[in-house]
Amino acid sequence: MDLYSLLGRLPLGRFREPPPVVAVIRLSGVIGALGPLRTGLTLSGLAGQIERAFKQPRLKAVALAINSPGGSPVQAALIGRRIRTLAEEKEVPVIAFAEDVAASGGYWLACAADEIYADENSIVGSIGVISAGFGFSELLQRFGVERRVHTAGDKKSMLDPFKEEDPKDVTRLKALQKEIHESFKAQVRARRGERLEGSDKALFSGEFWTGRKAVELGLVDGLGDLRGVLRERYGEKLRLKRVDGARPWWRRRLPAGSALPAPQDWAAGLLAAAEERAHWSRYGL
């Protein structure tokens, strides 16, 4: 029996081409460090996941499943830059999928992808910069509390919430916000290019839209969900490989002898939770 006849009798199933793989990175939550008991999206927390995603065998693409109302522009830029660096090194396309919301820093993350998809009801956009806080100066006066602050440098106590707001401090803050906003706009222009529709005044006003309107504006390439879009592109046998990071502390058992978080950490965690809730509530979520 010759070689060709022998090969013809072998079961072909075991020699079939293995299915293509798309690595999935979930980017869910507020961007930036939130406190001792809550984890936000940071480069230090995501670096391992991103590296592993681009090392998967038979990799066809990396998908970003984004559900974020924004947060730190620095962390958004760092995470996006790491994704782009590996995408170019490995020559692997990146496709982003907006879930409930990809707004502000969440949209900055989406711009790390070569293509962006959203549900028709996703919240997309909010290309702007915001800073919020509270003023407690009258509260201190009411209770007869004297606050003593000593600085070296006349701008060190800028925007102190326990002092009357100084118009000069507000002017300085707005100048900083403008610089960050320009960086955000440059990122969107660089990544979306000629796909953008509409005036800069509309696109970069901080307004946000549904996914359907975002398609019209060129902020999103199409409507669809992660599984549906990727299977249509790479076939029904596609393998979606979710790449996870380290589990949060509340999902792990505390080892013997471990101490519970200190009371001040719980207090900081509650404040961080309130701040995180405020990020989501801006978009009605």
pLDDT band at 260 (very low <50, low <70, confident <90, very high): very low
pLDDT given at position 160: 64
Comparing C-alpha atoms, which of 121, 116, 124 is closest to residue 229? 116
- Say what the pTM is: 0.78
Domain boundaries in the chain? Answer: 18-128+193-251+262-281
Residues 68-116 have pLDDT tens digits of 999 999 999 999 999 999 999 999 999 999 999 999 999 999 999 999 9
* Length of the chain counted residue by residue: 285
* Average pLDDT, integer, range 222-233: 96
Of the ranges 31-40, 251-260, 268-277, which is most confident?
Answer: 31-40
Residue 223: enclosing H or E segment and its boundaries? strand 222-223
Residues 263-272 have pLDDT tens digits of 555 444 555 5
pLDDT given at position 147: 67
CA 114 to chain centre: 15
Please state, for a pLDDT cut of 90, what percent of the chain lies above it. 54
pLDDT given at position 129: 77
CATH number of the structural domain 18-128+193-251+262-281: 3.90.226.10
For the chain, what is the largest distance between any 2 Cα atoms, rounded to a whole number of angstroms?
Answer: 103
Residues 19-69 have pLDDT tens digits of 999 999 999 999 998 765 567 899 999 999 999 999 999 999 999 999 999
pLDDT band at 282 (very low <50, low <70, confident <90, very high): low
Are 37 and 268 in contact by the 8 Å Cβ rule? The answer is yes
pLDDT over 50 at 7, yes or no:
no
Residue scoring higher pLDDT (131 or 37): 131
Mean pLDDT computed over every residue of the chain: 81
Residue scoring higher pLDDT (150 or 119): 119
pLDDT given at position 43: 95
Range list of β-strands (E), 16-153 = 21-28, 59-68, 94-103, 115-118, 123-125
* Average pLDDT, integer, range 247-252: 49
pLDDT band at 254 (very low <50, low <70, confident <90, very high): very low
pLDDT over 90 at 221, yes or no:
yes
pLDDT given at position 58: 93
